[in-house]
Amino acid sequence: MLKIIQIPVLTDNYIYLLHDTASGSTAVVDPALSQPVLDELKHQGWRLDWVLNTHHHSDHVGGNQELKAKTGCQVIAANSDKDRIPGVDKGVDDGDVIKIGQYAAKVLATPGHTSGHIVYYFADAAALFCGDTLFSMGCGRLFEGTAEQMWQSLQKIKALPGYTRIYCAHEYTQANGRFALTVEPENQALQQRMIEVNQLRIENRSTVPSILQQELDTNPFLREDSLALQRQINCEGGTPVSVFTEVRRLKDHF
């Protein structure tokens, strides 16, 4: 079993601890801070073996060096970002496979939010750790990449099994859903999902992970083929990339 623990930090970040119960191997995804991770490791009685970074932003790599110093773990990140991510021991590229105990993760390059962004897909655990590429009902801002790059990156995620759990790095779901309703107001699946999300937030509970099929049904950045969405944003008949680009532009100014 791959045990996954979500650690909320900062204002809205999520760090993930992954533990293979058979081998005892443990990894952490995008440690913004070190101390909350060290505290949870102590609580669980686990030893940290790996840091998995998705991209170079400080709220994803801030804990790297202290975790290395205190646990002896190794850091895995994109080869293209080795100069921007502290403490990298192992660089990976699109299509590479890493292992946490008996669980294999395929690395997918997903440029857009940053030029070197990668995600980690654990097929046997039906889990995707996607950093800031895909959010629940949203996607990352285009800080370094183009809209076409991000659209291509999201196509890789759309191709995964619908039951895949989407472990994104921020609690943005409620705000993303409010925007989604402006571009696809008649989407009943979206309306129902927002009722559930609003209730979870009232209870101060996490809305992450989501399920990929939920995202396909409600996330406007994955729904460029929706005629209702195209009409709402005056892009009827546009290319998939042009529809995505307009949705991203509208969200940037929402």
The residues annotated with a catalytic role in the active site are 55, 57, 59-60, 113, 132, 170
Residue 108 corresponds to which tokens in the numbers above? 């997918």
Give how far Cα 217 sits from Cα of 59, 123, 244, Å: 29, 21, 15
- Identify the H or E element spanning 57: none
Of 228, 187, 223, 194, nearest to 210 by C-alpha is 194
Of 95, 71, 230, 224, nearest to 155 by C-alpha is 224
Do 169 and 126 touch, CB atoms closer than 8 A?
no
SS3 126: coil
Please tell me the distance from the alpha carbon of residue 169 to that of residue 21, in angstroms, as a whole number.
23
Q: Cα–Cα–Cα angle for 123, 57, 211, nearest 5°? A: 30
